[in-house]
Amino acid sequence: MALTSTTTGRTASVSLGAAAPALADVVAIARDNASINIDETALAAVAGTRKLIEALADDVEPHYGISTGFGALATTFISTDRRTQLQQSLVRSHAAGSGPEVEREVVRALMTLRLSTLLTGRTGVRPQVATTYAAVLNAGITPVVHEYGSLGCSGDLAPLAHCALVIMGEGQARTSDGRLVSGGEALAGAGIEPVLLAEKEGLALINGTDGMLGHLILALADLDRLMPAADIAGAMSVEALLGTDAVFAADLQALRPQLGQAAAAANYRALLHDSPLIASHKGPECTRVQDAYSLRCAPQVHGAARDTVEHARLIAGRELASAIDNPVVTPDGRVESNGNFHGAPVAYVLDFLAIAVADVASISERRTDRMLDQNRSQGLPPFLADEVGVDSGLMIAQYTAAGITSELKRLAAPASVDSIPSSAMQEDHVSMGWAAARKLRKAIDGLTQVLAIEIMTAARGIDLRAPLQPGPATGQVLHAVREKVAGPGADRFLAPDIAAVTAAVRSGSLLAAARRAAGPLA
C-alpha cells in the first residue's frame, strides 16, 4: 500500500493504496498527525479475502486462528457460537503490558503499520476493522501501550493487543488533547463505533512486527538528521582545535571506496570550505604532522555509521512491503501457518544501529574532551574557562557527555542474542526485537545530547580563537547556537544551555543553518 503524502495549507493527507508504504509517510502520520485516506480498491481486496475466511469458518475441519485456539492451544476446536468470545478473549488476555506508557508517536507508528498490513488483503479481516483503525488514528486517539510485554515473536503481541482493545471499546486511551479515558469513552467522543471482532480478526490485529518496525522507522528519521549533525560537530571541532582539512580530500577518501565514508568526508569538505581558521595554519610554520584519530578518522567512523543506517533502511523497506500475520491468506486463496512474524530481521538491525550510535557518541565525546584539555587543545584555556581557577568553564559538560556515552555503550549490548521460551515451549525462540527497539530509542536521545555538547563546546572554542573566524557553513551554525546560548564568559547555569542546543540538534535547525552555506549535506 502506497502512502503518498499531499499537503494543502497546513493539513497533510496520506493515501493508502496498493503498494508498500513509504518510510516518510509513516513518520508523517506518527509525528505530524497526517490524516489517512483509504483507497477503495484496497478495501475491495480486503472484502474479497474476507469471503474466504467466512467460508472456512463454516467448515467442519478445524482451521488455525479461525476455528481453533492459539499458540499451545492450536489443536482445540472452538464451536461457532464461541468464536467472537475467542477473538475478544485473545485480545483481552494478550493486553498484558506493564510499566510506563510508550510514546504517542510510537503507538501511532505501530497502528499505522498494522493498518498497512490489514489493507494488503492477506489477513482476512473485514473492511470495517481497517476503516476503524484509520478513524482512530485520524481522531488523534492513542491507545495506552506499556513499556514491557513484547518478546518480538508472534509479533509485538502485547503492544498490538492494547491497541486492538481500544478498537473494541475497551482498555485505556489518550484523547487528542492528552486526557486519559477508557477506550469506549475515547471512541464515543469521536463518534466511532467499537468493533465486535469476528473469526480471525483478533489474531490479525496482534500478530505483526509493527512495534519494533515503527521504532526503526522513527529511528531512521532521527538518524538522517543526526548523521550530518555529527559531521557539523566534528568540523567545528577541527576548526576549534586548529586541525587540518587535508585528510578529507576526495582522492584520499577514494582509496577506500566505502560509501558512507565518502559522504561524511564530502560533508567535512563542504563545512570547512573557505574557513579562515583552517587557512591560518596551513603555512610551513605549522609543525603538526597529523591530527588525533578523533579528528582525522571521523569520516571513517561517521561513514561506517551511515552504512549501518542504509542497511537498516533496506531491511525496513522490505518489512514495509511485508504482510505479517499467522495464519496468512495467500494470493491463491490458501490459509497457511507461517513464521513471518519472527522479529529477527528487524531486531538485528535495531541492535546494529545501537552499536553505531554508541560509537559516533564515543568519538564525539573524545573531541569534546580534547578541546577542554590545555595540553591538547592547541592554546585554548583550560576547560575553556573565562577566569582560570575561579571558573570551571565547560568541565562538567564533558562529564555529562562521558556519562551518556558510557550508558550508550551499555545499550549497545544486543538484545536479539537473548531468547526466553514462552507459551509452554511452543514459542521456544523469540527475537527480543521490542527490547532492541526501546534501547535504541534511548540511545538516539543520548547521541543527540552528546553531539549538542560537542557543538556547544566547539562554538566556545571557535569564539576564543577570535579574531580568526570559522568558515561560512560552520559560521552559520555558530550564529544559530548564539541565538540560543550566550558566548564565552563567567560561569553560569549550564543545564539550560545544553538543553537549548540539544533541542536545536533534535529539530534539525542547526543542520538547516549549515546547509544555507554548505548546500546539501548527506
The DSSP result for 143-194, as a single string, is E--EEE---SSSSSHHHHHHHHHHHTT-SEEE-TT--EEEHHHHHHHTT-PP
Helix (H/G/I), strand (E/B), else coil: 459: helix
pLDDT of residue 72: 57
| Residue 268 pLDDT class (50, 70, 90 cuts) | very high
Residue 82 has pLDDT above 80, yes or no: no
As a whole number, the mean pLDDT across the chain is 93
Q: Active-site residue 64, yes or no?
A: yes
In this structure, the answer to whether residues 368 and 497 fall within a common structural domain is: yes
In this structure, the answer to whether residues 422 and 403 fall within a common structural domain is: yes
pLDDT of residue 286: 67
List strands edge to edge, sheet with 3-8: 3-8, 11-16, 35-38
Nearest one of 366, 377, 390 to 453, comparing CA atoms: 366
In this structure, the answer to whether residues 191 and 236 fall within a common structural domain is: no
In this structure, the answer to whether residues 305 and 387 fall within a common structural domain is: yes
Nearest one of 505, 493, 500, 503 to 396, comparing CA atoms: 493
In this structure, the answer to whether residues 192 and 229 fall within a common structural domain is: no
Q: Is residue 336 part of a domain?
A: no
Is the omega angle on the peptide bond into residue 100 within 30 degrees of 0, that is, cis? Answer: no
Write the pLDDT tens digit of every residue in 354-384: 999 999 999 999 999 999 999 999 999 999 9
- 492: Cα within 13 Å, side-chain hemisphere: 9
Structural domain range at position 44: 3-208
Residues 329-350: what's their mean pLDDT?
92
In this structure, the answer to whether residues 94 and 243 fall within a common structural domain is: no
Least confident of 38-52, 201-215, 418-432, 503-517: 418-432
Residue 216 has pLDDT above 70, yes or no: yes
Residues 444-463: what's their mean pLDDT?
98
Residues 136-140: what's their mean pLDDT?
98
pLDDT of residue 1: 38
In this structure, the answer to whether residues 410 and 490 fall within a common structural domain is: yes
pLDDT of residue 3: 40
Give the whole-number percent of the chain exceeding pLDDT 90: 82
In this structure, the answer to whether residues 177 and 223 fall within a common structural domain is: no
Write the pLDDT tens digit of every residue in 278-328: 999 887 766 676 899 999 999 999 999 999 999 999 999 999 999 999 889
Nearest one of 222, 223, 248 to 234, comparing CA atoms: 248
pLDDT of residue 155: 82
Q: Is residue 310 part of a domain?
A: yes
Q: 287-294 long-range CB contacts below 8 Å, 24 or more apart?
A: 288/244, 290/244, 290/247, 291/238, 291/241, 291/243, 291/244, 291/247, 292/366, 292/370, 292/376, 294/237, 294/363, 294/366, 294/367, 294/370
Residues making up the chain, counted from first to last:
522
Q: Cell 566547539 sits at which residue?
A: 458
Residues 180-188: what's their mean pLDDT?
98
Q: Is residue 350 part of a domain?
A: no
pLDDT of residue 4: 41
Domain CATH for 184: 1.10.275.10
The answer to whether 170 and 90 are in contact (CB under 8 A) is no
| Residue 24 pLDDT class (50, 70, 90 cuts) | very high
Domain boundary among 157, 190, 208: 208
Q: Is residue 95 part of a domain?
A: yes
Least confident of 13-27, 45-59, 194-208, 298-312: 13-27
Domain boundary among 140, 174, 208: 208
Q: How far apart are CA 14 and CA 504, in angstroms?
A: 28
| Residue 6 pLDDT class (50, 70, 90 cuts) | very low
In this structure, the answer to whether residues 506 and 396 fall within a common structural domain is: yes
Q: Is residue 333 part of a domain?
A: no
Q: Is residue 221 part of a domain?
A: yes
In this structure, the answer to whether residues 154 and 29 fall within a common structural domain is: yes
Domain CATH for 371: 1.20.200.10
Q: Is residue 328 part of a domain?
A: no
Q: Is residue 354 part of a domain?
A: no
Q: DSSP states of 40-59 as a string?
A: HHHHHHHHHHHHHHHHHHT-
Residue 496 has pLDDT above 80, yes or no: yes
Domain boundary among 208, 227, 248: 208
Residue 269 has pLDDT above 90, yes or no: yes
In this structure, the answer to whether residues 264 and 312 fall within a common structural domain is: yes
Alpha-carbon dihedral 279, 515, 362, 469, rounded to 10 degrees: 30
In this structure, the answer to whether residues 186 and 292 fall within a common structural domain is: no
pLDDT of residue 232: 98
Q: How many domains does the chain have?
A: 2
Q: How far apart are CA 149 and CA 127, in angstroms?
A: 28
Write the pLDDT tens digit of every residue in 30-57: 999 999 999 899 999 999 999 999 888 7
Residue 83 has pLDDT above 80, yes or no: no
| Residue 20 pLDDT class (50, 70, 90 cuts) | confident
Residue 60 has pLDDT above 90, yes or no: no
Residue 135 has pLDDT above 80, yes or no: yes
